[in-house]
């Protein structure tokens, strides 16, 4: 740029171009530095001029009155990519202005000035003519065609002396504002984020006074910006946290520059809520002093609630809302350590409901569930709030009593639970009855840890159950001994069939009208090599549990049919044989084939076979049962419902079952004349059976009061010790012969009675 180097001091030259530098420097109003040198009376050194014009980051572009470029400093060259030689003498607008933009500006200026402005030539002039040294943004185009934003200021250049003094050209000072634009854009984006962030943002100054907050802050806290600006964030606090909490927060801000955590604050409306907050320390870039604190937080009350629900579900039984096994173990653990410290005792109670399975199976799970909910309430009502009631699943509950001083404390609670659970429940529009069997273990006597106490309470509960319904039982060491015995017995049971240890006994069934024997019920006996006769009451449930019942049942069916057929072959009158089927056998798929097979192999007339099934077996899935029962009936086999009255029978189904007989359970018969309720049940059952066209047989008749009552009520048949105890197969023939003699020889209603009682005594 030769023009620049030609400077000779401050001298106003009326022509732009060669002497532009001097021209500018001489203009006091525009170039204060020139003025400052002039005032000192000093020459402005050429080098300084150069430094000023060429060293700055602003583009200096001067044009003459026609708009032709006269001067183009180094910064302008760098910005636009043209050398000074390339541009001097060119019209600046044509060279680096956006044509459309410049056209619009010219139009606007024309209007403002009231005269046409030539976009090619007069932009600088027109801008200046408005008399303002304003800055305006333009888009400039580099030599390579790329565009960038600039800020342009225009000023007039004066030349001449006195009267001659006039505008000789214009100077444009151009700043590349690309970076500023970027910064502005960034700022704009930050602002958008600030305004629209779903997280509350609060900025406080170094003294922790609130400087600004965003709309999310207002939404979450309820405070408008004007409520809080200038305040200490303390006004948000709920008093939920103590001094050490905040102390720790400040400590972390001091050492890490950041703090994160959960804070419980209070909304403007007073509501306390949890928020998750992140606080950052902002420091001044130069001095590194804390300038601000930036706090961002979100309302986590919803999430908290969800977490609490999940947490609750993980620790509670969803049906009853009681603590589950997991929580129980934790609470018991806690109770044990407390008890160790205070030298008190802890009682663990295992509670199992009697007859729950029957209710669940016959009335449906829905009813079963409702009953469990009610039972849970009653058990909870029997203990203190500080005690734990948990549900382990099914109908098993556990109660943990802490602070127990004597076993009698636990006993009282157990009795209360027994009493409350025994009261009738009104569930799903029906009255239900159940009872609780409770096993109790005590810490430290019966165990030192959770597992031992639970196991022993469980064992005691089995004993309580065995004692009869609605009982409780304390654990005793001997109980485990018998648990071992049970296991051994189970193992022996597996081998019993192979070892031929089973035998069928037969108990006569008598017509109450004629006194004649009409059949026998086959009852299995286990002749254990060491323990002698074992009652089916002991091993049948065991066989059910293990599945052994299926092969045992098959053996019973075959044996009963074969032996009954032998009596026929020995010339006895047609005698029915009744075979018991357990629930599990009843569900067995090939049961009809099994029965048909036993009949075929033995050659027994199907009319002489009766199957005894329980209420729960048929009521479990009545539709299926009806199919199966029809199948048996079509084979010619008759059917009886055993233990009638102990389960739940739906009368509407009972009508549909193709059965022949109801068997009144022993428990009702035994109370005839003793308990009016049970007497009524027997009477009602007889009436019901007859209404449905069924026969009734009463089991467990032990005395003549029962017999006479039943006969008077019209009960068809009877069975019981009064007639005879179950007997081995080989005794059947002589027994029937002798009975027939007595009855035939001494016919009449009382005949069976006297004969039976003698035999009962001897059986
Ligand atoms: P259940 O079918 O109700 O049989 C009647 C039970 O009452 C028999 O007990 C019988 O000995 C007993 N009993 C009869 N008369 C009297 C009496 O006057 N007083 C008293 N106190 N009891 C009397 P047992 O033989 O011990 O059988 C018990 C249960 O075992 C049976 O009840 C039946 O459910 C089951 N059971 C017996 N044998 C078999 C079998 O072969 N297969 C299956 N699945 N279960 C069997
Ligand atoms: Mg039976
Ligand atoms: Mg029975």
Cross-strand bridge partners of residue 157? 169
Task: Look at residue 2 in the predicted model and tell me its pLDDT.
Answer: 31
Query: What band does 256 get if pLDDT is binned at 50, 70 and 90?
Result: very high
Task: Look at residue 763 in the predicted model and tell me its pLDDT.
Answer: 33
What is the C-alpha separation between 553 and 539, in angstroms, rounded? 13
Query: What band does 33 get if pLDDT is binned at 50, 70 and 90?
Result: very low
- Residue 51 exposed, middle or buried by CB count within 10 Å (0-12, 13-18, 19+): exposed
Task: Look at residue 726 in the predicted model and tell me its pLDDT.
Answer: 96
User: What confidence tens digit (pLDDT) does each residue in 188-204 have?
Assistant: 999 999 999 999 999 99
What is the C-alpha separation between 402 and 384, in angstroms, rounded? 10
Query: What band does 30 get if pLDDT is binned at 50, 70 and 90?
Result: very low
| 595 contact partners, CB below 8 Å, separation of at least 6 | 557, 609, 611, 632, 635, 637
50: pLDDT strictly greater than 70: no
- Comparing 48 with 553, the larger pLDDT belongs to 553
Task: Look at residue 9 in the predicted model and tell me its pLDDT.
Answer: 34
98 contacts 105 by C-beta, under 8 angstroms: no
Query: What band does 124 get if pLDDT is binned at 50, 70 and 90?
Result: low
Q: Give the residue, out of 508, 522, 536, 644, with the most ligand 1 atoms within 8 A of its beta carbon, to mutate for a pocket test.
A: 536
Cα(699) to ligand 3 centroid in Å equals 6
For the residues 287-312, what does the mean pLDDT come to?
A: 91
Q: Which of 335, 317, 311 is nearest to 375 (CA)?
A: 317
What is the C-alpha separation between 594 and 738, in angstroms, rounded? 34
What is the C-alpha separation between 510 and 722, in angstroms, rounded? 11
354 contacts 368 by C-beta, under 8 angstroms: no
For the residues 637-658, what does the mean pLDDT come to?
A: 85
Residues making up the chain, counted from first to last: 763
Q: Which of 247, 230, 239, 282 is nearest to 263 (CA)?
A: 239
User: What confidence tens digit (pLDDT) does each residue in 543-597 have?
Assistant: 887 788 999 999 999 999 999 999 999 999 999 999 999 988 998 889 999 999 9
- Comparing 750 with 527, the larger pLDDT belongs to 527
User: What confidence tens digit (pLDDT) does each residue in 262-286 have?
Assistant: 999 999 999 999 999 999 999 999 9
Task: Give the chain's largest Cα–Cα span.
Answer: 171
E strand segments, 239-378: 258-266, 272-283, 290-299, 345-354
Task: Look at residue 355 in the predicted model and tell me its pLDDT.
Answer: 81
Task: Look at residue 49 in the predicted model and tell me its pLDDT.
Answer: 65
253: pLDDT strictly greater than 80: yes
Q: What is the mean pLDDT of the chain?
A: 85
For the residues 57-62, what does the mean pLDDT come to?
A: 86
Q: Among the bound ligands, name the one nearest to the CA of residue 670.
A: 1
User: What confidence tens digit (pLDDT) does each residue in 436-474 have?
Assistant: 999 999 999 999 999 999 999 999 998 888 777 788 999
| 421 contact partners, CB below 8 Å, separation of at least 6 | 353, 375, 378, 379, 434, 435, 436, 470
Task: Look at residue 36 in the predicted model and tell me its pLDDT.
Answer: 47
Q: Give the residue, out of 668, 699, 719, 722, with the most ligand 1 atoms within 8 A of its beta carbon, to mutate for a pocket test.
A: 699
Most confident of 95-99, 207-211, 341-345, 492-496: 207-211
Q: Among the bound ligands, name the one nearest to the CA of residue 610.
A: 2
Cα(642) to ligand 1 centroid in Å equals 10
Task: Look at residue 94 in the predicted model and tell me its pLDDT.
Answer: 74
- Give the residue whose CA is nearest to atom 4 of ligand 1: 523
Pocket of ligand 1 (CB under 6 A): 507, 522-524, 535-537, 540, 553, 556, 580-582, 612, 642-643, 666, 699-702, 719-721, 726
542: pLDDT strictly greater than 80: yes
Cα(523) to ligand 1 centroid in Å equals 6
710-721 burial: b if 16+ Cβ within 10 Å, else e = bbebebbbbbbb
What is the C-alpha separation between 273 and 429, in angstroms, rounded? 44
R_g (Cα) of the chain, nearest Å: 53
Tell me the percentage of the chain whose pLDDT exceeds 70: 87
Q: Give the residue, out of 493, 521, 523, with the most ligand 1 atoms within 8 A of its beta carbon, to mutate for a pocket test.
A: 523
């Amino acid at each position: 740029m030769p023009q620049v180097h030609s400077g000779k001091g401050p001298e106003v030259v009326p022509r732009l171009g060669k002497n532009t530098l001097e021209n500018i420097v001489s203009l006091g109003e525009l170039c204060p530095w020139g003025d400052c040198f002039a005032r000192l009376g000093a020459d402005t050194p050429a080098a300084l001029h150069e430094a000023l014009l060429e060293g700055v980051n602003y583009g200096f572009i001067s044009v003459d009155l026609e708009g032709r470029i006269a001067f183009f400093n180094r910064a302008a060259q760098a910005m636009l990519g043209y050398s000074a030689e390339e541009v001097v003498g060119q019209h600046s607008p044509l060279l680096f202005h956006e044509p459309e933009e410049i056209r619009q500006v010219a139009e606007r200026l024309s209007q403002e000035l009231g005269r046409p402005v030539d976009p090619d030539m007069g932009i600088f002039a027109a801008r200046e003519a408005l008399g303002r040294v304003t800055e305006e943004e333009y888009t400039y185009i580099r030599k390579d065609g790329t565009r960038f934003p600039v800020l342009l200021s225009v000023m007039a250049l004066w030349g001449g002396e006195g009267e001659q003094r006039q505008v000789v050209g214009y100077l444009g000072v151009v700043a590349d504002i690309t970076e500023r634009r970027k910064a502005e854009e960034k700022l704009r984006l930050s602002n958008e984020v600030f305004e629209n962030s779903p997280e509350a943002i609060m900025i406080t100054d170094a003294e922790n006074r609130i400087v600004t907050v965003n709309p999310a802050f207002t939404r979450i806290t309820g405070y408008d910006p004007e409520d809080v600006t200038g305040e200490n964030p303390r006004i948000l606090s709920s008093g939920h946290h103590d001094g050490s909490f905040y102390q720790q927060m400040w400590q972390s801000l001091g050492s890490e520059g950041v703090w994160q955590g959960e804070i419980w604050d209070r909304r403007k409306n007073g509501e306390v809520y949890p928020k998750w907050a992140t606080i950052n320390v902002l420091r001044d870039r130069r001095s590194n002093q804390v300038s601000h604190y930036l706090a961002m937080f979100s309302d986590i009350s919803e999430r908290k609630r969800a977490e609490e629900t999940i947490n609750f579900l993980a620790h509670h039984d969803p049906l009853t809302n009681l603590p589950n096994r997991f929580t129980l173990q934790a609470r018991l653990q806690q109770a044990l350590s407390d008890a160790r410290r205070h030298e008190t005792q802890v009682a663990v109670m295992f509670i199992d409901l009697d007859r729950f399975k029957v209710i669940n199976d016959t009335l449906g799970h829905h009813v079963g569930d409702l009953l469990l909910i009610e039972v849970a309430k009653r058990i909870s009502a029997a203990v203190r709030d500080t005690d734990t009631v948990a549900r382990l699943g099914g109908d098993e509950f556990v109660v943990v009593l802490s602070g127990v001083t004597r076993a009698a404390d636990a006993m009282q609670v157990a009795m209360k639970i027994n009493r409350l659970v025994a009261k009738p429940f009104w569930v799903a529009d029906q009255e239900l009855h159940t009872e609780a069997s409770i096993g109790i273990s005590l810490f430290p006597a019966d165990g030192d840890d959770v597992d031992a106490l639970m196991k022993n309470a469980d064992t005691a509960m089995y004993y309580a159950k065995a004692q009869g319904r609605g009982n409780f039982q304390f654990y005793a060491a001997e109980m485990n001994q018998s648990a071992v015995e049970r296991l051994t017995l189970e193992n022996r049971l597996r081998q019993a069939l192979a070892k031929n240890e089973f035998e069928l006994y037969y108990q006569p069934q008598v017509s109450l009208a004629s006194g004649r024997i009409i059949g026998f019920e086959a009852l299995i006996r286990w002749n254990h090599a060491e323990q002698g006769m074992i009652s089916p009451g002991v091993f049948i449930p065991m066989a059910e549990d293990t599945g052994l019942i299926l092969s045992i049942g098959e053996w019973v069916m075959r044996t009963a049919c074969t032996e009954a057929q032998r009596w026929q072959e020995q010339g006895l009158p047609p005698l029915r044989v009744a075979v018991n089927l357990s629930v599990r056998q009843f569900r067995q798929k090939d049961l009809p084939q099994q029965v048909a097979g036993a009949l075929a192999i033995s050659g027994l007339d199907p009319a002489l076979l009766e199957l005894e099934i329980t209420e729960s077996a048929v009521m479990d899935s009545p539709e299926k049962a009806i199919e199966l029962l029809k199948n048996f009936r079509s084979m010619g086999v008759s059917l009886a419902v055993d233990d009638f009255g102990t389960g739940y029978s739906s009368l509407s189904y009972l009508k549909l079952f193709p059965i022949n007989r109801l068997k009144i359970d022993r428990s009702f018969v035994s109370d005839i004349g003793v308990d009016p309720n049970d007497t009524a049940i027997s009477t009602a059952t007889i009436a019901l059976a007859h209404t449905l066209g069924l026969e009734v047989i009463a089991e467990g008749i032990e005395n003549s009061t029962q017999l006479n009552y039943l006969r008077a009520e019209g009960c068809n048949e009877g069975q019981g010790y009064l007639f005879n105890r179950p007997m081995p197969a080989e005794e059947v023939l002589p027994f029937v012969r002798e009975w027939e003699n007595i009855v035939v020889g001494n016919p009449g209603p009382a005949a069976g009675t006297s004969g039976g009682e003698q035999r009962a005594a001897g059986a």
